[in-house]
Structure 1
Amino acid sequence: MPKRSKKHKLSEKEKERIIEQFLPRVKYYANKYAFGLPSELSVEDLVSAGVVGLLEAIERYDPSMNATLSTFADFRIRGAIIDEIRSMQWASKDARKKLEEVRNAYMEIEKSYNRLATDEEVAEKLDITLDELYKTLSIANTMNMMSLEDLGINKDGKSLDILECISKEDERDIVDVLNLKELKSVLGKAIDGLPDNERLVVTLYYFEELTMKEIGKILNISESRVCQLHGKVLVKLKSIMEDFRNAC
C-alpha cells in the first residue's frame, strides 16, 4: 500500500477498504492471544479491540515515522488486544499469589541446585499436584504477558508485547527504547538456556508466528500442554525482566 501524505485525510470508503484488508490480521492476533482467556472475555471481544487499534493506526499513521502502514497497523492491533486482556484484571488475588509462589519455587530450586528445576520438584515443594501446577502455569499466559509495560515502558499509553517487538526487525524503530538492544541480548541468552521444548515453543510462537494448536501438532503434544510450557517460559522470563528493570 502506498504511503499517504500526512495532510491527506482518508475518506470513509478508503477506511473501510483498509479495515477489510487488515481484518484477517486482527482475527489472527485475536486467536493467537485467546488461549486461556476467562469465560467473560471472548475472541470476539479481542477482535473488537483489535479493530479499535486498527482504526487508531489509520488515524495516527504518519509516513515520516519510517514504517509502513502495514507495520504500524500490526503494532497497534496487537497493542490494543493486549490492553484489552490486561485491563480485565480478571485474575483473583489468590491466583496471583499462586503464580508468585510458583515463580519463587522455580527460582529457589534453581539457585539451590544450580540447574533447572523440574516441574515435579516445584509441585513437591509447593505441596500441590502436577495438574494444579500446570493450571497455574496456564494462567500465566495472560497474567504474565511479556509487555514493555513490565519494564515501566510503554508507547503512547499502549502495552506492547516485548517478545513480539524483539522478534520483528521492522518494529524496533516504533518501539524506540534505548535499552531494547541490551534487553534483547539478556532475553536471548535466557531463551538459549531454556530446555529444548520450551525454547522451541518460544521460537515457533514468536518468531514463526504459529498458534498454540499448530505448535502442538509439530511437537506432538496437546494444545493445553503447549500453553503450560509457554506459561512456564513467561514465569522464568518475567523474573529476568524484573532483574533487568531493577538494574537500569
Structure 2
Amino acid sequence: MIEPKAPHLSNIEIWRKWKEDGDIEAKKRLIEFYLTLVEYVSNRMAIGLPKNVSKDDLASNGVMGLIDAIEKFDYRRGLQFETYASWRIRGAIIDGLRQGDWVPRSVREKAKKIEEAYQILEQKVLRSVTDAEISDYLNVSEKEFGHMLQEIAVTTVCSLEDPIREEESETRLSLLVDEKAKNPDHKVNEFYLKESLVRGIERLTEKERTVISLFYYEELSLSEIAEVMSLSPSRISQLHSKAILRLRGVLDKQKDQLMQN
C-alpha cells in the first residue's frame, strides 16, 4: 500500500487534537494526510469496471468513506488506521456503485445462474466441479461459459466486500479479520460463516486460490497477477470470477440457513 508522506506533527498528536480538542484544522490535516489511501483504493477498484464508471466519482465516494473513518476511528486503541480506513473507503465506493446501478440486469442474472449452478452441483458432489460440468448444467458450451465469465467479471470485483446482510455493514471478507468480541449470537453466526468460507476456499482450484490470495491479501492488480502466474489478464479475470461465484454461493447458502434459525 502507498504510504502517505509524514506530516510536521506526529499522527498521534494530530489525532489527539482532533479527537480530544475537536480541532477542525487537525481533522483537515488528517484528511489531507490520508488522501493517498483514497487514490490507491479507488484506482484498484476501477480495475475491470466499465469505462462509463468515472474514476472521479469513485474517488469522490472514497473521500466520503475516508471522512467517515476519521470521524469514527479511536486512535487510542492502537489499531492500524490505514486498514480501517481502507474498508470504509471501499464501502463508500461500493455504495456509490450500487446507487448508480452500473451493471445491466441481464449480466446480474447470468452471474446469479452461474452462482446457483456452483452451489447446487458442489453441494451434490461435495467437491469442486469442472468447467465442463458447469457448462453441461447450464446447457452451454465451455467456450460460451468462458464468454459468460468475461461478461460478468465486473460484477465480481467487489463481491467479497458486499454486506452479508442488506441491513448490515459487515462484509464477507471482513469475516477473516479479527475483531473485538461481540454478542454471543453474533459470534455463533460468525463462526459458522467463517467455517463455510473456509470450506468454500478449500474447494477452489489451486489457481483460483492463488488469484484470491494475491488480489485480496497481497493487493496485486489483476494485470500484476497475470504476470506473476504467467497467464493472460482475461484468464485471470475468469479465474477470479469463478472463485468469487463459488464463494458467494457458499456464503449465501449459509446466510439463508442462519436467517431461518
**TM-score range, shorter-chain basis?**
0.7 to 0.9
Aligned AA (2:156) = N
Alignment of 1:85 with 2:92, yes or no, is: no
- Cα deviations by residue, 1:139-177 (Å, 9 ceiling, x for unpaired): 3314x712462334523xxxx5422x24444xx239985
Q: Distance in 2 between matches of 1:111 and 1:148?
A: 23
Question: Kindly tell me: are residues 173 and 34 of structure 1, through their superposed partners in 2, closer, same or farther at Cα, counting changes over 3 Å?
Answer: farther
Pair 210,166 (structure 1): closer, same or farther in 2 beyond 3 Å: farther
* 3-state SS of paired residue (1:146): helix
Within the candidate set 218, 230, 236, 1:220 is matched to: 230
Q: 1:154 is matched with which residue?
A: 168
Q: Which amino acid aligns with 1:150?
A: I
Equivalent residues in 2 for 1:156-175 (5 A)?
160-163=170-173, 165-169=174-178, 172-173=179-180
Distance 1:112 1:149, change over 3 A: closer
- Return the letter of the residue paired with 1:60: K
Measure, in 2, the Cα distance between the counterparts of 1:238 and 1:7. Answer: 42
Pair 1:134–1:243, CA change in 2 (3 A): closer
Stretches of structure 2 that go unaligned for 5 or more consecutive residues are 1-10
> How many angstroms does 1:200 deviate by?
0.7
Shift of 1:127: 2.2
The structure having more radius of gyration, on CA atoms, is 2
**Partners in 2 of 1:168 and 1:15 — Cα distance?**
27
Question: Is the 1:102–1:126 Cα contact (8 Å) retained in structure 2?
Answer: no
**Residue pair 1:35, 1:227 contacting (<8 A) in 2 also:** no
> Which residue of structure 2 lines up, in the alignment, with residue 11 of structure 1?
24
Name the residue aligned to 1:231. Answer: 241
What letter matches 2:198 in structure 1?
A: G
By how many angstroms is 1:109 displaced? 4.0
Aligned length: 239
Name the residue aligned to 2:206.
196
Change (3 A) 1:182 1:7: same
The CA deviation at 1:114 is: 4.8
Sequence identity percentage: 31
Range 215-224 or range 63-72, more displaced? 63-72
C-alpha displacement of 1:197: 0.3
What amino acid is the match of 1:126?
N
Describe the shift of the 1:79–1:236 C-alpha distance in structure 2 as closer, same or farther (beyond 3 A): same
- Please give the alpha-carbon distance, in whole angstroms, between the structure 1 residues aligned to 2:89 and 2:103: 23
Q: Give the root-mean-square deviation of aligned CA atoms.
A: 2.8
Q: Which runs of 5+ in 1 are unaligned?
A: none
**Maintained 8 Å contact 2:107/2:151:** yes
Which structure's relative contact order is higher, taking Cα pairs within 8 Å and 6+ residues apart? 1
The Cα of 1:55 is off from its aligned counterpart by 1.4
| Counterpart amino acid of residue 213 in structure 1 | S
CA deviations over 1:172-207 (Å, ceiling 9, x no partner): 239985333432232122212211000111111122
Give the structure 1 partner of residue 135 of structure 2. 123
- Please, which of 88, 101, 110 is the counterpart of residue 98 of structure 1? 110
Counterpart in the other structure of 2:5: none
> 1:243–1:22: structure 2 CA closer, same or farther, 3 Å change rule?
same
2:191 & 2:176 partners in 1: Cα distance?
A: 12
Q: Is the CA contact (8 Å cut-off) linking 2:161 and 2:172 kept in structure 1?
A: yes
Report the Cα distance in structure 2 between the residues aligned to 1:183 and 1:140, rounded to whole angstroms.
22
